[in-house]
Chain A
């Protein structure tokens, strides 16, 4: 019984057991996540001495005054929000039928295969995929070639190309939670709805959508926050357009104004918090 001594001790001391389980991840969470977040929020209220370029550790609202007074930042904020909304809605519209097909039509064996196919693009480098879309949107790209016979000009690089590329990039993050939600939905519920006289459309509206609503919210949090935080795709396929994340990036790099970057970086955090509050208030998640 000697080799069981440690296990026996742990069995007798549940609090120590819990401490050993959680100390490492909690330290990581506190230092790496909450710590850096707090630092960022703090530094948003500092400023930079315009002569020396040094950070002035004195609380001030200058950064926010600039953000709110210069109309360009308002335009960029609205544009970023619009693209995030567009990406979320388009991804949801594409993801729901795909996830439904995977969870309810495919056999369980093919289902796992389909999940792998959906995840597969995530293995490829993000940059490779972004540049692939750059090639496709170019003047001699595959899109221009395809639409030429219909006399439709491709929009080229710009916000539309950015939105489409982001839709492509974040689609798996929308499909997977909706698929998981649909897989948990018993087939008998759909049969019951049909049995009680509901056509496919009514079943979709009254049973499927309310049942997978939490999954759609989960997926939308991914697409929304990933879009708000992205500055690379817009650099690659967005032409001269700028999004809020570019403001952060440029102020960290070129301008060297870390406090202003921190202030701008609060934007997606506040938007996501607002979105979560809205979802909570709507009560849609307390339906079960």
Chain B
């Protein structure tokens, strides 16, 4: 498979701050790729480097096999959906969507037809003559999408595209973005700090921290086999067993991680432990139970709501737990 994007040893400093500290990345054609990380981890800077808004200190950026490291943004075959949407307030929706075609000198009739098609794709027919100020947040998001895809770029870059939307709309847009990407076949690269968003939407995820990629993998790989303590902690709830607990419970050295939904109440599995219940939170479909082990580590487990919530563990009581040893993994 051809690569849509290849980044080679990319570096970028802002004064004293190392924003991007040696990033190597290959993104395949047609992939839905997520760059996940906390704020300040360098993920947005990498996106801006790909778009051309920042000039790398060193390293190489290739788009569809062409080195674009010195190419200005207006000559790169990528388009961006901005976090604040960046719609032109003095233009109608239609004019906003037409903008890219207009500055490239596409004839009026073709421009209008393509803009309408793009607006149809994002379900915004009937809003052509509105100004951005007359639209809701979700509608602006759709205009920003239409304005980008109308240019038929090789790669679409999305900077925290759903960050400003409320939860319900966000879930709806997640689904639509995924469908849109499937229909267009364009490579999507999106930046997010929301691990759930990355897990649900992406084909592959790169987890960023301190300007570097810590791990690249499919959502299942990232979740089930986090490369280190940072990834385990950032993606999902992490249960860490440090030195003392590892030795006592697992009989191994090192720090181990186990996902909360893998831990069960009772002693049905081969790894057995017990601890004091420090917190019980009823969430709805789950009850979250925090336990403090005698070695000092805290474990969180998620007890499925199977109709026995009346008999949930009691705060301060001692609870026996167990898990299958195949679900524990070394993180450091």
Contacts and interface: CB of A to CB of B under 8 A. Distances in A.
Given A188-B82, A191-B53, A288-B131, A198 B90 contact: no
Interface size classification for chain B: 20 to 34
Interface in B53-107: 53, 72-75, 78-80, 82-84, 86-90, 99-100, 102-104
The majority secondary structure among interface residues of chain A is: helix
A191 B151 contact: no
B90 A288 contact: yes
Contacts of B151: 196-197
Contacts of A188: 82-84, 86
Nearest to A198: B103
B82 A191 contact: yes
B131 A192 contact: no
B99 A193 contact: yes
A181 to B, nearest CB: 12
A66 interface: no
A207 interface: yes
A185 to B, nearest CB: 10
Contact of A194 (B72, B84, B102, B131): B72
B86 A206 contact: no
B90 A195 contact: no
Contacts, number: 70
A106 to B, nearest CB: 16
Contact of A198 (B52, B74, B133): B74
Contacts of A121: none
A210 interface: yes
A211 B80 CA distance: 21
B80 to A, nearest CB: 5
Nearest to A189: B86
Interface in B212-265: none
B10 interface: no
Nearest to B77: A197
B80 A192 contact: yes
A232 B131 CA distance: 47
A195 B81 CA distance: 10
Contacts of B78: 195
Most buried by B among A189, A194, A195, A206: A195
B74 A197 contact: yes
Given A188-B82, A288-B131, A194 B73 contact: yes
Interface string A197-214: 111001000110011000
A287 B151 CA distance: 25
A196 B51 CA distance: 10
Given A192-B80, A197-B75, A206-B99, 19 more contacts: A188-B84, A188-B86, A191-B86, A192-B86, A192-B88, A193-B88, A194-B72, A194-B74, A195-B79, A196-B74, A196-B99, A196-B148, A197-B151, A198-B74, A199-B103, A206-B102, A206-B103, A211-B89, A288-B89
24 contacts: A188-B82, A188-B83, A191-B51, A191-B80, A192-B86, A193-B99, A193-B103, A195-B53, A195-B73, A195-B74, A195-B80, A196-B99, A196-B103, A197-B74, A197-B100, A197-B151, A198-B99, A198-B103, A202-B103, A206-B103, A207-B88, A288-B89, A288-B90, A288-B131
Interface of B: 51-53, 72-75, 78-80, 82-84, 86-90, 99-100, 102-104, 131, 133, 147-148, 151
